[in-house]
């Protein structure tokens, strides 16, 4: 065998290699890459046909002995014994020799995959990326890897045998210590073949005692291997793979090179926008994205991003905004090694994003954490080994930022991404979003903010607030055509035309008198032009209208629609029934066979998710929906129809209209998207203004939402020590979005006066107090300090409108807390803000009240709800006595929650209380979140210590509202109650089972589970399991780590200064 050079060399592998048996290895001479000696292939064929091939080694730790576990005559041990005997028989047996067969075992070549970066014309940029191992900056990794003697000679040996070699390394060295050490020291880079052979006469000079000692120490290598392998069979096999280590080393090096590139001013984008080539492969594997649009490439290469400036970018719906944000987040996590916060508007979108990015976290080594509903830890775990991607709703994101500021870790947050930035101008949620961003801007100079939206107008003011650059494009992957329908005429919207529209066509439809009466807007004609071969969305003003329209359309559809994908629709109906133990809405039961369904907040999240999946798969071709679908999950359609230019009784805004019609056109499927707005003659002038007007401006709601806005902000500024007096508060307020727009929003009052009034209210409520501080002699300054009640309200992220009443309710509860049932605790955790929406059914109220136990009636008496009052309301009698209706209505909602905890079935509870399933589920979700807030509130007040343990358990029950066995599975993102039951019945009883599941087996085991869903569930389970394990490991390390300020030895007093009495 030819000398391979100064070290045994092996090429870095990009894929699994097939391995030959040892006997074959010994028989075949070394080959040059790409060449096959004459007859080799024939011998291989004869070997395969003549005798079974030895098992191939795949690098797995599961088979400890792999193909070498035989103790037979022709086994690996026998070959090693033969080598030893030959060595012993030679006159220079003290010299180590290496046979070509054993060297062949240690040197195998592999192939490396290649990708090319190709810029193409048009709207697409091909991202076939060249393997970064060929980059000059990482060439040393792609070169042959030198392996130290004695280590990677064991590359092809199973892990159990590798343990033996590790332990016996020193013994083997001692075997020849006297012969090698004296004359021929071995350099560290020298291979075994390079050891000089000793002369026989030098061997004769050894003393008999030395020879005898060497012989006594020499044990049979065969016996050693047997002993080690038997012992290792009893021990746990170490989980390491040389192949995996090399892959990880390459990925780590690529990240290091990308990090250096990003820190420099170089234009080199690395293999995939300064990210390792593995990221590009993951986008192909998990998202099917092979190419970027031109605007995405332009946006990612903006100079302002390289300089870490804040950025706002705006494009039409479905333009691909999210992909840019995900690439920027991965750059921050992998290259800059900083944590990232992504703020999304709704819980459902948070959970969808968690599921889609968990796979990336597992592959690339970062943690994805959910902050939505009752989930989320404040402050988050401080991880030393991995970085975290926090995906949060607006409210939870605010709480997270507060905890990081308080903990002094806000600079650990490298990037904040805000989706739907226009929501900063929408009510109390907009005020909370503004407060969050203002705090980040004020407290951290290193955190970058990226905002994106499809509907922004007054961008200049937002730029001033966020100190950001702006990028926009009108790109849409599919062309959108807007139409208006008046009577039976369809017009195309044309801003260049004099009237704003031009004639397009007459709607050809033959309607009977009955059909004309039932469908005066010709919806049946409009949808049958599209379905069932293409998809269609019909936006309706109200939830009830959605159901009525779906039902009406199906009454006049041809029976042929029933045959379209009939089997899949039958399976879908069965799946929908299983969600709520056989319960099925009668409207859906009639419409789904036609491929039609309705979608609104009255459905449970399970039902909506199943409907969305069926629509995306093409099983459903028509959805009648409310405007919430436009702002939620992305479900595009060939044609979008707006049933009327209203949402409830409010006329459409331009932003809402833009969101709805933006769903028209599916990238990669449709060549064009259509939107049709149906209007009456009376609304014609309003609609023309609507379609031709610019988008509405965003205006701050910080001053309008008093308790959730400016008062909440000022309380947190004092509590987090961002400001300590009115001057500091005014300085902060000047930099807010409200401060920038103040003159146009509140011309009659200055910013100073507004701040002063809000502070006075907080002091009056007992949340803040004044404190005089002496600056110098004869001069003092009035600073502000947060009270215990204020601190509790801040930690609980409560609406300050309810902090007083909550404190009184909890205080009153301590006087006679009834713990014989959950009813009293449930009442205390029933959200105040849902009471105004409650309209009790008094007959149901009376029926439930009359079935209360004596302990539960005691709860009603403590709260102040009497049976006589409910009886009078149910019988329609006049009420003379003054009763607090808020308490009565809140207690009614408590009945609903109490029934849910006992029955754990939303369907049956909603029927008993005559409420929509969606409303009941929203109530449950709000109660779980409010319970979590009260828990944090009570942790800050010592007098409420008794509530802490009680609310911890109750919060978990409200969060999942399932049997205790299903709770562990419900913790996995994307697993709802129906799916948890399926998994539990199939044997996946814990997160550990689920994390180690095979997605292909899951697909065959669980009904109605797609491959994409199976992979996401397994990835989410792995992420959750890793997160828990790392949290425990961090806790152990913190416990074992010695404190930095251990007291030193105390000097003993001298004798002359001894104690005397």
C-alpha to C-alpha distance for 678 and 687, rounded to whole angstroms:
10
Beta-bridge mates of residue 647: 650
Contacts (Cβ under 8 Å, ≥6 apart) of 380: 369, 388, 390, 400, 403, 404
| Contact criterion met (CB below 8 Å) for 303 and 471 | no
Q: Is 38 helix (H, G, I), strand (E, B) or coil?
A: coil
DSSP codes joined into one string, 161-225: HHHHHHHHHHHHHHHTHHHHHHH-PPPTT--GGGSPPPPHHHHHTS-HHHHHHHHHH---HHHHH
Asked if pLDDT for residue 99 goes beyond 80, the answer is no
* pLDDT at residue 215, as a whole number: 52
- pLDDT tens digits for range 788-839: 999 999 999 999 999 999 999 999 999 889 999 999 999 999 999 999 889 9
- pLDDT tens digits for range 334-364: 999 999 999 999 988 998 899 889 999 999 9
C-alpha to C-alpha distance for 105 and 53, rounded to whole angstroms:
17
The label of the residue with tokens 């800059």 reads 336
C-alpha to C-alpha distance for 730 and 742, rounded to whole angstroms:
13
Mean pLDDT of the chain: 79
- pLDDT tens digits for range 939-971: 999 999 999 989 998 998 898 888 888 888 988
C-alpha to C-alpha distance for 714 and 160, rounded to whole angstroms:
63
- pLDDT tens digits for range 981-1013: 889 999 999 999 999 999 999 999 988 788 888
The pLDDT of 548-565, averaged and rounded, is 94
Range in 162-166, 186-190, 267-271, 622-626 with the lowest mean pLDDT: 186-190
The pLDDT of 870-876, averaged and rounded, is 91
| pLDDT confidence tier of residue 495, bands split at 50, 70 and 90 | confident
The pLDDT of 394-422, averaged and rounded, is 95
Asked if pLDDT for residue 522 goes beyond 80, the answer is yes
DSSP codes joined into one string, 423-481: GGGSHHHHHHHHHHHHHHHHH-SS-EEEEEES----HHHHHHHHTEEEEE----SSEEE
CA distances from 53 to 19, 23, 49, 64, 529 (A): 11, 10, 9, 18, 62
- pLDDT tens digits for range 745-795: 887 889 999 999 999 999 999 999 998 776 666 566 788 999 999 999 999
Please give the share of the chain, as a percent, with pLDDT higher than 90.
49
C-alpha to C-alpha distance for 595 and 690, rounded to whole angstroms:
32
Which is more confidently placed, 644 or 177?
644
Question: What is the CA angle 270-274-280, rounded to 5?
Answer: 85
Q: Is the dihedral of CA 299, 302, 306, 312 positive or negative?
A: negative
The label of the residue with tokens 């830890």 reads 377
| pLDDT confidence tier of residue 368, bands split at 50, 70 and 90 | very high
Query: What's the token pair of residue 758?
Result: 């809000």
Largest separation between any pair of C-alpha atoms in the chain = 124
Q: Is 348 helix (H, G, I), strand (E, B) or coil?
A: helix
* Beta strands 448-453; 310-314: pairing state: parallel
Name the helix (H) or strand (E) containing 293.
Answer: strand 291-293
The pLDDT of 130-150, averaged and rounded, is 42
Which is more confidently placed, 288 or 152?
288
Asked if pLDDT for residue 680 goes beyond 50, the answer is yes
The alpha helices in 986-1047, defined as continuous H runs, are: 991-995, 999-1005, 1011-1040
Q: Is 683 helix (H, G, I), strand (E, B) or coil?
A: helix
* pLDDT at residue 23, as a whole number: 40
Range in 60-74, 392-406, 850-864 with the lowest mean pLDDT: 60-74
Contacts (Cβ under 8 Å, ≥6 apart) of 20: 28, 54
* pLDDT at residue 1013, as a whole number: 86
C-alpha to C-alpha distance for 658 and 693, rounded to whole angstroms:
11
């Amino acid at each position: 065998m030819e000398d391979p050079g100064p070290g045994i060399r092996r090429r870095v592998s990009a894929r699994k290699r097939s391995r030959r048996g040892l006997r074959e290895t010994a028989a075949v001479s070394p080959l040059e890459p790409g060449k096959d000696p004459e007859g080799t292939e024939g011998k291989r064929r004869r070997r395969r046909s003549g005798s079974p091939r030895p098992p191939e080694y795949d690098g797995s730790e599961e088979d400890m002995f792999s193909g070498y576990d035989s103790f037979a005559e022709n086994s690996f041990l026998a070959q090693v014994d033969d080598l030893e005997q030959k060595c012993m028989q030679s006159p220079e047996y003290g010299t180590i020799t290496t046979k070509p067969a054993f060297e062949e075992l240690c040197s195998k070549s592999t192939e490396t995959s290649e990708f090319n970066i190709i810029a193409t014309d048009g709207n697409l940029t091909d991202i076939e990326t060249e393997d970064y191992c060929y980059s000059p900056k990482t060439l040393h990794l792609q070169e042959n890897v030198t392996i130290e003697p004695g280590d990677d000679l064991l590359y092809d040996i199973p892990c159990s045998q590798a343990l033996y070699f590790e332990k016996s390394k020193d013994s083997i060295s001692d075997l020849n210590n006297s012969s090698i050490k004296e004359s021929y020291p071995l350099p560290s880079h020298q291979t075994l073949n390079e050891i000089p052979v000793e002369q026989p006469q030098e061997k004769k000079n050894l003393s008999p005692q030395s020879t005898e000692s060497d012989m006594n120490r020499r044990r049979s290598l065969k016996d050693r291997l047997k002993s080690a392998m038997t012992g290792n069979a009893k021990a746990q096999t170490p989980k390491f793979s040389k192949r995996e280590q090399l892959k990880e080393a390459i990925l780590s090096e690529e990240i290091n090179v990308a990090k250096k590139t990003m820190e420099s001013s170089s234009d080199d984008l690395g293999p995939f926008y300064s990210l390792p080539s593995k990221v590009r492969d993951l986008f192909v594997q998990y998202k099917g994205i092979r190419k970027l649009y031109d605007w995405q490439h332009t946006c990612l290469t903006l100079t302002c991003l390289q300089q870490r400036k804040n950025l706002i970018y705006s494009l039409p719906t479905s333009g691909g905004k999210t992909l840019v944000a995900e690439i920027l987040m991965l750059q921050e996590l992998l290259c800059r090694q900083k944590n990232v916060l992504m703020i999304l508007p709704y819980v459902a979108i948070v959970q969808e994003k968690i599921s889609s990015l968990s796979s990336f976290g597992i592959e690339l080594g970062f943690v994805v954490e959910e902050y939505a509903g009752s989930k989320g830890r404040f402050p988050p775990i401080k991880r030393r080994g991995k970085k975290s991607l926090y995906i949060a709703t607006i409210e939870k994101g605010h709480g997270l930022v507060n905890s990081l500021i308080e903990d002094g870790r806000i600079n650990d947050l490298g990037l904040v991404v805000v989706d739907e930035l226009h929501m900063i101008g929408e009510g109390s949620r907009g005020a909370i979003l503004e407060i969050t961003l203002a705090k980040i801007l004020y407290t951290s100079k290193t955190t970058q903010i990226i905002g994106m939206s499809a509907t922004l107008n007054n961008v200049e003011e937002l730029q001033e607030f966020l100190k950001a650059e702006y990028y926009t494009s009108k790109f849409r992957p599919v062309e959108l055509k807007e139409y208006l329908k008046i009577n039976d005429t369809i017009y195309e919207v044309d801003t260049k035309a004099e009237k704003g529209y031009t004639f397009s066509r007459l709607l050809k439809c033959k309607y009977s008198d009955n059909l004309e009466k039932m469908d005066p807007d010709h919806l049946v004609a409009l949808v049958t032009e599209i379905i069932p071969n293409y998809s269609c969305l019909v936006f309706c003003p109200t939830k009830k209208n959605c159901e009525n329209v779906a039902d009406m359309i199906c009454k006049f559809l041809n029976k042929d629609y029933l045959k379209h994908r009939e089997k899949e629709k039958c399976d879908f109906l069965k799946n929908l029934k299983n969600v709520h133990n056989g319960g099925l809405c009668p409207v859906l039961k009639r419409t789904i066979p036609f491929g039609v369904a309705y979608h609104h907040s009255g459905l449970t999240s399970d039902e909506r998710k199943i409907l969305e999946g069926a629509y995306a798969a093409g099983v459903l071709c028509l959805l009648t929906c409310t405007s919430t679908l436009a702002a939620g999950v992305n479900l595009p359609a060939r044609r979008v129809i707006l049933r009327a230019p209203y949402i409830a009784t409010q006329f459409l805004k331009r932003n809402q209209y833009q969101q709805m019609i933006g769903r028209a056109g599916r990238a990669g499927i449709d060549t064009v998207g259509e939107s049709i707005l149906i209007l009456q003659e009376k609304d014609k002038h309003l609609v023309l203004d609507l379609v031709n007007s610019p988008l509405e401006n965003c205006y701050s709601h910080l001053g309008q939402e008093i308790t959730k806005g400016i008062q909440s902000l000022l309380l947190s500024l004092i509590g987090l020590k961002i400001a300590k007096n009115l001057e500091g508060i005014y300085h902060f307020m000047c930099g807010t979005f409200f401060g920038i727009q103040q003159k146009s929003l509140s011309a009659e009052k200055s910013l100073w006066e507004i701040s002063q009034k809000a502070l006075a209210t907080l002091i009056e409520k007992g949340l803040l107090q004044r404190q005089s501080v002496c600056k110098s002699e004869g001069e003092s300054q009035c600073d502000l300090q947060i009270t215990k009640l204020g601190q509790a309200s801040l930690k609980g992220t409560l609406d300050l409108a309810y902090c007083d009443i909550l404190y009184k309710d909890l205080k009153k509860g301590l006087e006679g807390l009834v713990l014989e049932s959950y009813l009293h605790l449930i009442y205390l955790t029933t959200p105040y803000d849902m009471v105004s929406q409650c309209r009790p059914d008094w007959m149901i109220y009376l029926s439930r009240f009359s079935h209360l136990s004596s302990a539960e009636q005691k709860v009603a008496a403590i709260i102040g709800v009497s049976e006589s009052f409910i009886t009078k309301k149910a019988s329609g009698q006049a009420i003379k006595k003054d009763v607090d209706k808020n308490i009565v209505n809140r207690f009614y909602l408590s009945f609903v929650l109490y029934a849910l905890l006992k029955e754990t079935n939303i369907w049956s509870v909603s029927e008993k209380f005559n409420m929509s399933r969606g409303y009941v589920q929203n109530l449950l979700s709000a109660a779980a979140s409010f319970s979590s807030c009260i828990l944090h509130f009570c942790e800050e007040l010592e007098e409420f210590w008794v509530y802490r343990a009680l609310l911890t358990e109750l919060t978990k029950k409200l969060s999942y509202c399932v049997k205790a066995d299903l709770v562990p599975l419900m913790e996995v993102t994307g697993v709802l109650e129906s799916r948890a039951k399926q998994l539990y019945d199939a044997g996946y009883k814990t997160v550990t089972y689920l994390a180690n599941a095979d997605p292909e087996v899951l697909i065959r085991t669980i009904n109605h589970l797609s491959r994409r869903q199976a992979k996401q569930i397994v990835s989410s389970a792995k992420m959750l399991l890793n997160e828990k394990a790392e949290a425990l490991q961090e806790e152990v390390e913190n416990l074992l780590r010695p404190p930095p300020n251990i007291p030193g030895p105390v000097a003993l007093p001298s004798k002359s200064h001894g104690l005397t009495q």
